[in-house]
Each structure stands twice: as C-alpha cells, then as structure tokens.
Amino acid sequence: MAEISYEKVRIGIALGGWPFPEPEPQLLWNYTERMESLDVDSIWFTDRIVSPTFTLETVVAMSFIASRTTKLKFGTSVIALPLRNPTILAKELATIDFLSGGRCLPAVGLGTEDEIEYEACGTEKRIRVSRTEEAVHLLRRLWSEDNVTHKGKHFTLTNVTVQPKPVQKNLPPIWFGGRSEPALRRTARIGDGWLVSQATPEEAGVGVQKIKSMASEFGNDIEDDHYGAIFSYCFADGPKEAEELASPYLLRRRDDVSPKEMNAFGTPEELISMLDSYISSGITKFALRPACPPEMTHQQMEILGTDVIPRYHN
C-alpha cells in the first residue's frame, strides 16, 4: 500500500441509539468527558424522531454536549431534513454553533422510508427531495444574510433575519449522506461534503470520485478532506470473537455485502487496517459506531482512544 497522509484524518464516534446499560444521563456525560481527554474528534447522533428505540433528539443532544465540553465537535448522522422547518433549524444550529465556538457539524439526509414519520411531522415522503433541497438553500441564506425573502415550493419567508449567525468562518458545512446515484449527484450539486454509511472502502472510493467529477461540472468546490464514512467497530482478541459480540448490534441494511467488508472486528490493528483502506479511497473523516453490548461501550472507546486514535491525531 502506498504511504498514506494522516494530516486531515479525524476520528469521531457515532451513537446509533442509547449505547449504555441504563437510561441514566450521567453515563453520557462521563463518556463525552472521557472522549475529550482521549482526543476523540467528534460525537455524532442518529436522528430518529419517531421510533420505539431509545434515541435522543439530535439538536437537543448537541446543545447539551456543547455546554459540557470545550473542544469536542458534534454532528448529526444524519438529520432528517425534510421533517424540519428550516427557519427554526437554522436558528437552533446557529445558536449552538455560536455558543460552542463553532463546533457544530450538520450532516443531512432525506429521512427513513417510513411514511408514518413524515406524517407525524406534518409532511409527506413524496416531497422529501424538493423539501430537503429548498431547506438547504434557506439554511445557508439565513446563516449568511439578513432580511431574507423567499417564496418557494414549500417555504415562504418575508424579510426574515436570524440572529445570532454561526461563528464558523465559512458557515457550518452541510454534508449529505446516501450511496445512491441521486444522493451522489445531490451532494455534488449542493453539498459541502459527503458522509456515507453502509459502504465498503472500494464503494466509498468510487463515490468520492463520482462526486468530485460531478461537483466540478456543477461548479461546486468540495474540499478534498470533506469526505467521511460511518462504520461499526468492535474490539476483541480476534475477529471471530468480535463478530459474535457485534452481531446483535450491527446495522443490517444490506444483504449483498458481508459486514466484514465494511466494519472492523478484532484487535486495534484490524480497525487501523480498515481505516487505512478508507483513507486510501479518499475518506478522511470517520464516525465510528460501537457495536457491542452496552456494558462494553465505555471500554471499547478507551481502546479506540489509547490504541488507535494516537496513530492519526498527531
């Protein structure tokens, strides 16, 4: 393998739900405080408004993390944008970015396939694409302009100003998720970055190249280090033991690819090898999801922070 540059590599942790043994907030506070001391880059929250699974609301969770940390970044992986009013969301995210000193990382998507969630939030699945794209346009305008007037297909604003503005120099970068051709094209056309999940390193590499090619055609300048991946990890003495531990906690949205091809099971060296494969494909930002019994979540993060992250965060 050719020599890999780690200068732009950052490793964060994604929480697919509540990963702790008890529904006790202090467990999350202890976890995030230790994340900071271990130099974990960021924490990412899955967005599920309607779900029987114990899942925190992303914007509220990010606000708590902002108040209890000083350098840990926080993001959404990914927020279901068509379920939200963009003016309210612009205000919420700008406020969090301002109060945290610019640590907010919004990644957006179209939401789940469940029509019930759209209905519960006052919209429809059939309009989610156009609603999402219009919302992205409005978020950027409200973050950068005053007296915004807009009459679109889904939203109307007349002389609207949102304060405070975000403090990030170039506004919070809006990354898109998704592996489909329309998702890649959407990212290339209006995205600031790409955060893919359920993709092998090879598939991620193909996606990066397609987005770069299309972004050039659209005149959209996406920075080379704005390509990220979400995948699961589980540490154990060997791959087989780790796979067995992880199996009940893995996302299984594909039956055409083995979980071993897009997740890391085993020793820290196995995870390093998987990370390097993604880095070789053009991915530099990672949101790693712990796939393990809840009582092991903290221990798994300790291993990540002591045996893996120092290789990349120098």
**pLDDT at residue 252 in the model:** 81
Dihedral angle, C-alpha 159, 163, 167, 172, nearest 10 °? -60
Q: From residue 191, give the alpha-carbon distance in Å to each of 46, 84, 128, 175, 270.
A: 19, 18, 16, 6, 32
- Signed CA dihedral, 40, 15, 25, 122: sign only: positive
What per-residue confidence (pLDDT) applies to 283?
Answer: 97
Instruction: Tokens for 101, please give them.
Output: 């000193």
Q: H or E segment at 232?
A: strand 227-235
Q: What CATH class is the domain 10-312?
A: alpha beta
CA-nearest of 205, 271, 181 to 235 is: 271
DSSP H helices in the chain = 25-37, 58-68, 86-100, 115-120, 128-144, 181-190, 201-218, 239-246, 268-280, 297-303, 309-312
Nearest alpha-carbon partner for 65 in 56, 78, 74, 57:
74
pLDDT value for 2: 43
Going residue by residue through the chain, which has 314 residues, state the pLDDT in tens, using 9 for 90 and above.
345 679 899 999 999 899 999 999 999 999 999 999 999 999 999 999 999 999 999 999 999 999 999 999 999 999 999 999 999 999 999 999 999 999 999 999 999 999 999 999 999 999 999 999 999 999 999 999 999 999 999 999 999 999 999 999 889 999 999 999 999 999 999 999 999 999 999 999 999 999 999 999 999 999 999 999 999 999 999 999 999 999 999 988 888 999 999 999 999 999 999 999 999 999 999 999 999 999 999 999 999 999 999 999 76
Write the DSSP string, 200-222.
Answer: -HHHHHHHHHHHHHHHHHHT---
Residue 59 sits at the vertex; the CA angle it makes with 164 and 15, to the nearest 5 degrees, is 140
Chain position carrying tokens 């007037």? 149
Nearest to 71 by CA among 282, 308, 313: 313
Is the alpha carbon torsion for 180, 184, 187, 190 positive or negative? negative
DSSP assignment string, 14-29: EESS--SSSS-HHHHH
pLDDT at 314: 67
3-state secondary structure 235-259: ECCCHHHHHHHHHHHCCCCCCCCCH
The domain spans of the chain are 10-312
What are 281's two structure tokens? Answer: 């494909």
Give the number of residues written for the chain. Answer: 314
Q: How far is CA 299 from CA 168, 283, 294, in A?
A: 33, 26, 10
Q: What is the DSSP letter of 305?
A: I
